[in-house]
Structure 1
């Protein structure tokens, strides 16, 4: 079990992680592919103190090196849900499970709007994890809605285990197997009654039994039911504490301005307060 789990490997998450380590706590950072991080794509940054004319990729690499040097552990993956029970948070990361005594949410801005038919068919053909549920669809038609940088690799894996895969994305997929048909569409609708029967992608209807919707990360309210929001952002106090004891948030997910310096500062507070929370709530 870790003392603190940080969801997100951007400036806020890594700042929280090093503050937690500075106070002698164990910490795990869970993050997805760097290519999904807006900072990674930024070509030039001039307004972060001490780092004039630096690319976002360079800055992110420096942050990550710093965290690694302080003993921060990192796990690449997508957190699907978080369950709190008896003072412990259980994090479902793909097909794996990790435990922590406190959590810092640093997910960035995540669009929470779901596709038509998505919520109604969750668990009845709609999945957010190919490695978790892919074996259930061997020999069957499935659709992969690729919204994350690593989605083509997951589609390739589904094909390799025997699924009949169609890939749907608003952008041209990178490294998708040539024998997987791809449909370019930004708007999709999950079709079916009691279970998934197909997917409408733009003007194309794809018959299928399973739909894998692969976003870069889950919306905070989907990760933690009961988490209080302020509009589309996580509601926090000056200690970066959320409405759920033991859960803190920092960075773009807490609101404007969406700036690196704000994210780093909020991460510092969140990591500090998460460490304090553990000190004041010892394991029984």
Structure 2
């Protein structure tokens, strides 16, 4: 397997006679959040059509924010991802900036753009608070973790064939199952990097798992309805440890076709944060069907 994204364009994989120098230039450009060109692979494909799953996009944005805020020795304590339109599987540009820098708290913004007929178009963005961490006298309060992934059941990701995001993650359910109604708990592990040759960060692992809350706790039938999330918010009080990240998810739907998926995020040591997704719930056969 490859990765969700491959470096692309003039800042991609070194191809000149001095690859070491090219690699250093790439690192210098991306360390401060400068624009970076990548190409999405088929492993980003989501369940709603020809667009990407939100998890890889969120992880791409989260990584850009982390690179732009290296001067803050801290944690991305909250990140809000906005999926402005379907993100195509192709060439993208991701960038980040820090409009409000600070040594104890910094506010950062990241964007993903895709090339369209009239030029680049913003397809997703994220904003985040990065808070400085320090050793102090504050007490540590931890909630226990769910049963470990070794006790979970491996299940098909979604009831569909083909490749895509479904092939890029290992999933183990300790409660519930895919597209069944009701709360569910599942562990997620990335089989591939977010960007080729780069180790996924704890934040990126949490974002990929967090964007699956609506998928594991669907309150309506996947065969008859879609429940697309135009956003994802994740708040962390510490970074998850290890490759496996668990989410405990519950979805509710109101009478107007608007839903909310709420998740608790954990690692093997305990709860590390929480997430939420707003949901647009529509019939697959009705006139108002949409795939935002």
Q: TM-score scaled by structure 1?
A: 0.23
Q: TM-score scaled by structure 2?
A: 0.22
